[in-house]
Amino acid sequence: MALILHAGKTNKNAYKALIAAEYVGVQVELAPNFEMGVSNKTPEFLKMNPIGKVPVLETPKGPVFESNAIARYVARLKGDNSLYGSSPIDYGHIEQWIDFSSMEIDANISRWFYPRLGFLPYLPPVEEAAISGLKRALGALNTHLTSNTYLVGHSVTLADIITTCNLYLGFSHILVKSFTSEFPHVERYFWTMVNQPNFRKILGEVKQTEAVPPVPSAKKPSQPKESKPKAKNEPKKEAKKEPEKPKVEEEEEEEAPKPKAKNPLDLLPSSKMILDEWKRLYSNTKTNFREVAIKGFWDMYDPEGYSLWFCDYKYQEENTVTFVTMNKVGGFLQRMDLARKYAFGKMLVIGSQPPFKVKGLWLFRGPEIPKFVLDECYDMELYEWTKVDISDENQKERVNQMIEDAEPFEGEPLLDAKCFKRENSTFILEEK
């Protein structure tokens, strides 16, 4: 009797057992017509795995669930294979790399990838921690592979099968070339493994993803209005005419503009500083920036109507990946669009080597950071905010340097500088 594996055809956790079966020489078949979310909710499936997770291997002696356990079971079905090495120390090292791959590689890829698919809440600090942890793990793996073709010994073991399947998810969906190129021995290892005949038979042709999936939109879909139930014995004539009137009324109500509540910042006393005038001055000054734009800023600045704030990212040690750090800043500025009428900002990414430092300067309408910004832009809590004391010449000079993208800044080069501004109803995210 063939062993039946209950899982979808593209499940990387199912690939572990299927590839192991090719090496061992046993027959494992995928359950026909398996449909995730349907087949694994049936009473028959729940008898095999009470929590409904896949994959599950159906054997003559009973079911086995958890993908690594299934792969281990398949690898041991025949004793004349090298998937578990040839000595107790080989066995220990194989188990060591299986655990490492699951806890350090697969777990961190999943924490990065699945929130971007919308399967889990997207939280920037969680993503940063996942990327940092993954980079640390791949660094350790890269060091080991500097002098080793395989993880253990001189041939493919179960550790290679499970590690490659875990890397397969990353390479196929989220680990772009610019990320993996930092780990050349991991790249060499992965492409060597997936092109082995037994791997290729299960995985097919593997291609590396060219883009990181975008962050899912936070907007909630609008809910359709519920229609009123019709009476069962309602005459046909009335059924045609009566629903038409409320339908027209509902449409009219939808089209009628709802009065907008005024933003509290619009109720503040008028200020001598016109924000759009400063933004235009900033944009149009191409030479003599200090003499024209910086001087103009302080001539316009109204400490009664506006406030200046420094911000420092709280988790600088996590800024180890260039494009992730820059994307984080860009995402923050995009989410600040809600404050476009009331704010101007500069964000700097500082340093030539990781971890990079993210620091910023913000000009807000009013004496404090607007409450609606603190409430609605979750990035705000990721930064330490310090109000600028303009009577302090050192702080004032720091403001000048941040506005003009002075380099070096605080003794270090600028990796990137972005500006948040809005002119004539146009949101601008400008790199300088």
Q: Where are the domains of the chain?
A: 3-203, 275-420
**What architecture (CATH level 2) is domain 275-420?**
2-Layer Sandwich (3.30)
Residue 349: enclosing H or E segment and its boundaries?
strand 343-350
pLDDT score of 259: 54
pLDDT score of 31: 93
Contacts of 97 (CB under 8 A, 6+ apart): 151, 152, 159, 162, 163
pTM over 0.75: no
Using CA atoms, how far residue 39 sits from 13, 185, 304, 432, in Å, is 17, 40, 65, 54
Pairing type for strands 62-65 and 3-6 reads unpaired
- The Cβ of residue 202 has, within 10 Å, a number of other Cβ atoms equal to 18
Q: Return the bridge partners of 349, or none.
A: 358, 416
Q: Which two tokens stand for residue 343?
A: 């704010």
Q: Within the chain, what is the greatest distance between any pair of CA atoms?
A: 86
pLDDT score of 115: 93
Which 8-state DSSP code applies to residue 266? G
Q: Which two tokens stand for residue 100?
A: 């490492």
pLDDT score of 218: 58
The fold adopted by the segment(s) 3-203 is: Glutathione S-transferase Yfyf (Class Pi); Chain A, domain 2 (1.20.1050)
Per-residue pLDDT of the chain (432 residues; tens, 9 = 90+): 579 999 999 999 999 999 999 999 999 999 999 999 899 999 999 999 999 999 999 999 999 999 999 999 999 998 788 899 889 999 999 999 999 999 999 999 999 999 999 888 888 889 999 999 999 999 999 999 999 999 999 999 999 999 999 999 999 999 999 999 999 999 999 999 999 999 999 999 999 999 999 988 755 444 544 444 444 454 544 444 444 433 333 333 333 344 556 788 989 999 999 999 999 999 999 889 999 999 999 999 999 999 999 999 999 998 998 888 888 898 888 888 888 899 999 999 999 999 999 999 999 999 999 999 998 887 898 999 999 999 999 999 999 999 999 999 999 999 999 999 864 334 344 444
Q: Which two tokens stand for residue 392?
A: 């302090």
pLDDT score of 7: 93
Separation of alpha carbons 204 and 104, rounded Å: 26
Torsion of CA 237, 240, 242, 246, to 10 degrees: 180
Q: Do domains 3-203 and 275-420 have the same CATH topology?
A: no
Give me the sign of the Cα torsion angle 78, 81, 83, 84: positive
CB 386 within 8 A of CB 320: no
Residue 131 burial (10 A CB sphere; 0-12, 13-18, 19+): buried
The residue with tokens 């009013």 is 366
Q: What angle do CA 357, 363, 367 make, to 5 degrees?
A: 120
The per-residue b/e assignment along 106-119, b for 16 or more CB within 10 angstroms, e otherwise, is bbbbbbbbbbbeee
